[in-house]
């Protein structure tokens, strides 16, 4: 029996490209695994939306385990159905229990993942160039801000399921502009000047928004791959905003762009060998990227091979690449307060890899003593006992790990876990503070406990070992996810992640603003469908977290 397979991708557009590019025919291994072409296509889309990020397009496994037929067929339908429906203790969401998949969809997915994965197409410079649109060239953009708002306290907010970015005035809380972006837009980074917002969609589409415009709009866009999660700009002195970089999940590659126009300059594949076993990996995806302040370089994590690449952009057509062996699988991370040390989660091994951007080397792989560290960019503060520290939470349990980051003033604590405290429960995704705040905040959007999903834990920096100082319940629907301060550090903003389908009931999503002095809710910014990541201009430019 034959099953027609299309490639993995995101949007309808990808499916169209795929149909042109791939007309593979996959033989289902058992009669009961047969899917019609329509069922296969719908499962392919569900897999891309819900599963590929953790398990990989080729299903070789990463944050989640491998899902190739040699693994899934022996596991059997019942076990697979249970995993998909109920989730796992390791952090996999229960898609059925959460109401994301019906029983019938779950059954189809069980069959789908027992079939061979479809092979996605490539996306080379010809495709990248053809997708580039310079909507407003630099000489047609404003020469000074067209408004009196404080650009440095604006927020760019990802409206995930709407594929849009909301630009919000942090002072007045007005939504100034809502701009289309890539599909399921993932993150935002700011230009060093603080004028431009760079976004990346899950479909690899990067956009650039000008905050000087009266109503900020997209000035350029480009599709650098078919599946992506990261973008950043050049920040080293003399190179501020000159170049941008977009990391790709599929194809596994990165593209260097002109920082003012997004015109593509260079495309580089990340295909290669795992750092430890030196086996070829067909899908080493680009995870987090940060811009070094010590050299004209990006610090770029290659997830599956466990390498951190230092990409030198002095001569972007001939980029220098230093490969540093770190750990697998590299995911998200951020700077310590001095911005010399980059700390990134290696979630397969429950480690935090620490890279010294000045000496361009790995300092340590610290055991995070929890399951699946997930820092976002982490949180930095000065502990009265341990000195400067950085912290991460975990998806798979309730551990908050605190790591010393000051080798000069506190050498005994540096690059070691100095303490661990407990969040409300497992399922933490983000942790945040501000240098002017007394508090460290954690969310629990993936908690198995429904109450905890909308409750934040607040820790007192002066007594971190005292555990949670206070809990703040922020919503009676959805999930409270991703934390960000305003520029002054006196308001903490959290997103409520609702459902696109519940928008007409006022439960599509919103932002809750908490007064940092009283730890009480001070404002709500409603009607922000699936509001997720929030990025304050000043804090993002200056790595305040
Ligand atoms: Fe993210 C950061 C990848 C799921 C919201 N996410 C990142 C980064 C990576 C990544 C590599 C770091 C980018 C950087 O710093 O350059 N995320 C992935 C996945 O592969 C994964 C596990 C599954 C997927 O298919 O995408 C995943 N992420 C999620 C979510 O489910 C979240 C909550 C909602 C969503 O958009 O899908 C989510 N990820 C975010 C946010 C950030 C992020 C808000 C930026 C955090 C920050 O403060 O910098």
C-alpha 332 to ligand 1 mean position (Å): 8
**Which of 331, 244, 356 minimizes the C-alpha distance to 291?**
244
Q: Is the separation of the CB atoms in 306 and 330 below 8 Å?
A: yes
Q: Residues 11, 13, 16, 21: is their CA dihedral positive or negative? A: negative
pTM of the predicted structure, to 2 decimals: 0.92
The model's pLDDT over 141-200, given as tens digits with 9 standing for 90+, comes to 999 999 999 999 999 999 999 999 999 999 999 999 999 999 999 999 999 999 999 999
The secondary structure of 505-527 as a DSSP string is: GT-SEEEEEEETTTTEEEEEE--
Mean pLDDT by groups of 10 residues along the chain of 545 residues? 32 44 41 89 92 93 91 95 90 86 95 94 97 98 98 98 97 98 97 98 97 98 97 98 97 98 98 97 97 98 98 98 98 98 97 98 98 98 98 97 98 98 97 98 96 98 97 97 98 94 90 98 96 98 98
Contact yes or no for 251/226 (Cβ under 8 A): yes
pLDDT score at 11: 41
The per-residue pLDDT for 542 is 97
The best mutation among 48, 49, 53 to test binding of ligand 1, ranked by most ligand atoms within 8 Å of the C-beta, falls on 53
pLDDT for the residue 5: 31
Q: In testing the pocket of ligand 1, which one of 50, 55, 186, 534 has its CB within 8 Å of the most ligand atoms?
A: 186
Cα–Cα distance between 435 and 13 in angstroms, integer? 44
- The pLDDT of residue 30 is 58
Q: Is 331 in the pocket of ligand 1 (CB under 6 A)?
A: yes
Among all residues, which ones are annotated catalytic?
Answer: 51, 54-55, 92, 331, 374
Asked if residue 201 has its Cβ within 6 Å of ligand 1, the reply is no
């Amino acid at each position: 029996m034959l099953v027609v397979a299309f490639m993995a991708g995101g949007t309808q557009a990808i499916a169209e490209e795929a149909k042109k590019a791939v007309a593979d025919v996959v033989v289902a291994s058992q009669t009961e695994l047969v899917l019609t072409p329509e069922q296969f296509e719908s499962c392919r889309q569900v897999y891309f939306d819900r599963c590929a990020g953790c398990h990989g397009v080729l299903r070789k496994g990463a944050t989640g385990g491998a899902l190739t037929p040699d693994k899934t067929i022996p596991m059997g339908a019942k076990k697979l159905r249970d995993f998909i429906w109920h989730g796992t203790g390791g952090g996999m969401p229960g898609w059925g229990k959460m109401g994301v998949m019906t029983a019938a969809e779950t059954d189809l997915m069980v069959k789908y993942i027992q079939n061979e994965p479809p092979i996605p197409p490539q996306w080379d410079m010809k495709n990248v160039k053809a997708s580039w649109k310079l909507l407003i060239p630099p000489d047609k953009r404003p020469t000074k801000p067209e408004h009196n708002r404080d650009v440095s306290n604006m927020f760019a907010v990802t409206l995930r399921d709407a594929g849009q970015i909301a630009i919000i005035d942090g002072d007045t809380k007005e939504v100034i502009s809502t701009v289309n972006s890539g599909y399921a837009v993932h993150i935002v980074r700011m230009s060093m000047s603080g004028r431009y917002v760079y976004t990346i969609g899950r479909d690899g589409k990067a956009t650039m928004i000008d905050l000087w415009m009266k109503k900020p709009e997209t000035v350029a866009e480009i599709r650098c791959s078919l599946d992506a999660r990261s973008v950043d700009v050049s920040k080293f002195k003399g190179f501020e905003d000159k170049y941008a970089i977009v990391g790709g999940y599929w194809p596994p590659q990165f593209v260097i762009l002109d920082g003012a126009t997004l015109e593509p300059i260079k495309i580089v594949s990340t295909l290669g060998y795992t750092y430890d076993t030196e086996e070829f990996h067909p899908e080493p995806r680009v995870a987090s990227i940060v811009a070094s302040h010590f050299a004209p370089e990006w610090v770029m994590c290659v997830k599956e091979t466990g390498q951190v690449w230092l990409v030198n952009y002095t001569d972007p057509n001939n980029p220098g690449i230093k490969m540093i062996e770190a750990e697998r699988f590299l995911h998200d991370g951020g700077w310590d307060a001095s911005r010399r040390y980059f700390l990134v989660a290696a979630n397969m091994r429950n480690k935090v890899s620490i890279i010294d951007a000045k000496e361009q080397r790995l300092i340590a792989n610290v055991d995070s003593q929890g399951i699946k560290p997930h820092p976002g960019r982490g949180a930095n503060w000065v502990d009265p006992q341990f000195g400067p520290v950085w912290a991460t939470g975990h998806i798979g349990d309730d551990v908050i790990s605190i790591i010393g980051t000051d080798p000069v003033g506190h050498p005994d604590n540096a690059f070691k876990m100095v303490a661990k405290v407990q969040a409300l429960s497992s399922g933490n995704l983000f942790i945040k503070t501000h240098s002017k705040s007394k508090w460290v905040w954690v969310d629990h959007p993936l908690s198995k406990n429904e109450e905890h999903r909308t409750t934040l834990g607040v820790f007192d920096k002066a007594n971190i070992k005292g555990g949670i100082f206070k809990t703040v319940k922020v919503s009676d629907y959805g999930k409270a996810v991703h934390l960000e301060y305003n520029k002054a550090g006196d308001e903490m903003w959290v997103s409520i992640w609702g459902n696109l389908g519940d928008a007409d009931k006022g439960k599509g999503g919103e932002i809750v603003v908490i007064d940092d002095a009283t730890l009480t809710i001070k404002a709500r910014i409603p009607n922000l469908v699936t509001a997720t990541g929030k990025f304050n201009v000043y804090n993002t430019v200056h790595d305040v977290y």
